[in-house]
Every structure is written in structure tokens, then in C-alpha cells.
Amino acid sequence: MSIKSLAIMIASALAAQATQSFSNTGTTSGWDAIFIDSGTQGTVQQVTNVVYQGTTALKMTQVYQSGFTGRYHSEVHHYNAMKKGDTGFYGFAFRLQEDWQATPAQSYNIAQFIADFSNLGCGEDYMPGTMVEILGDQLVTRRKYGSVCPTSSQQTEYYNNLATVTPGVWHKIEIQANWQSDGTGYLKLWYDGNKVLEKYNVATSVTDGREFEFRVGLYANGWHDDGQLKGTQGTRQVWFDEIGLGTTFADADPDQW
């Protein structure tokens, strides 16, 4: 058998093993939930005028309100996306509004893995683990590990300045993670086809083994956490398209499905 024939057979076998567990082509249908915080002017819209591929994309908007003490989510949710012990790929395309104001001291979350821990009774309700954020014009992610309760046992490590994000341009994110609460996990992140993060032999999950949701959208977490608007841009918009999860890179890469 020739080397070329063997390579084709291996590629075919790997493709047969691939399992895309979830995909969405920028539509409001097909999600487990669409969430907009009560009391906000946030929206989640299916649009056709700004898309990455195909005919539709999701447009998320949030508006800052002086004196409002709640949170600012405009997100779509996919339940049961991962749990401790899993290995998977997670990806999407996103685009910041053309006049996006880079505010170095205030973050805007665009994706997160999160679970409800309110039953533990330690004051923690929905707690995010890994998050992907925009801080200024830089892409940021993090890993969270340790015990959920007491909350002082939670540990977080941030990875800053992974890449510069250009407003008004579509970008791609792919994440590969082996979710472990001890030092045997790994976390990788690709931005526009370039691997910008690769961490091996690290804890990537909390010790609790429950399922986490995967959420994408605009969560203006800095407005809540800082208790104020920094900069002058109080209306923020982000578009999302081609969101995918699975067992191979191709399952999560918007350009391969």
C-alpha cells in the first residue's frame, strides 16, 4: 500500500470518528435558552445583513444604565457542553462593532463555560469556569480550578494579551480542553487559525463533576464588576456565527463545517 493511500485511509477513519455534538449557523432557534438580564435594554437578534458564512448571524447588544446594579447578559446557551473528565473542541466566529471603543480597564465577555452551584449553599450560584473576554483590544482567557465551596478555595489563572482583536472584522476562536481538576488537564486556544495558548499539565476544572453550559454572546461583565462605565461607549454590539462543539478541531472550526 502506498503512503498516499495509507494517509487517505487514516484521514477517512478519523473523519468517521469525529462527532459534532452541537452546531448553530447563527440562528436564534436550536438553543437551550436565550438569556437577557431583566431590567436591561439588551437584545439577541437573528440578522442577515452581517454574517460570517451562510445567510444568518446572531447580533448581541447591551446598553449601560447608570444606577443599574444588575448584570448585562445577552447570550445564547447550550446545556451539558462539558464536565470534568471530558475532552472536546469548542469554536465560533465573532465580530465587534466597527466603532468598538477599546477600554483597557474594562472587560467584555464573549464566551463562557458556566454551571449552577446554588444547591451547595455556600453563596455561589452560577459560577463560570473558563471564559473568553475582550480587554481593551486584547483577547483574554482564563482557567478556574479548586473547590467551589468555600469560595475562597476557587483559584483562577488569567492569560492576557493573547491576540489583538480588530473591530469590524470577523475573527475565529477554537478551544480544545481536557477538563481535569488535578494537574493532568490541558487548555489550548486558536485565534484566526493561530495557536495563541497551549498549557499542559494544569487543572482546568473545579472538583465538582457536574455539567457546564457553553454560552456565547455579549456579557458586559465589567459594567457590573466595576460598578461603572469606563470610557464613553455605553452601547456595545457583537455578532456571532458558526458555533460548533465536538471531538475534533474541524467540529469547532467555522471554516470546516
Query: First-to-last CA distance in the chain?
Result: 30
Q: By the 8 A CB rule, do 108 and 219 touch?
A: yes
Query: Is there a domain that residue 8 lies in?
Result: no
Closest Cα partner for 31 from 50, 52, 58? Answer: 58
Return the closest-CA partner of residue 61 out of 195, 219, 192. Answer: 219
The per-residue pLDDT for range 187-198, each reduced to its tens digit, is 999 999 999 999
Q: How far is CA 96 from CA 16, 125, 231, in A?
A: 35, 29, 16
The CATH number given to whatever domain includes residue 180 is: 2.60.120.200
Residue 4 within a domain: no
Containing structural domain, residue 133: 20-252
Question: Is 203 a member of any domain?
Answer: yes
Total structural domains within the chain? 1
pTM for this predicted structure:
0.92
Q: E strand or H helix at 82, and its extent? A: strand 73-82
Which neighbouring-strand residues pair with 143?
157
Confidence at residue 19, expressed as pLDDT on a 0 to 100 scale: 87
Taking the CB of residue 204, how many other CB atoms lie within 10 A of it? 25
Position 11 in a domain: no
Tens digit of each residue's pLDDT (9 = 90 or more) over 204-249: 999 999 999 999 999 999 999 999 999 999 999 999 999 999 999 9
In the sheet that holds 212-219, the strands lie side by side as 33-36, 73-82, 212-219, 107-116, 126-135, 138-145, 155-159
pLDDT at 257: 85
Residue 126 lies in a domain: yes
The low-confidence residues of the chain, meaning pLDDT below 70, are: 1-18
Cα–Cα distances (Å) from 138 to 72, 110, 162, 166, 199, in that order, read 21, 12, 7, 9, 19
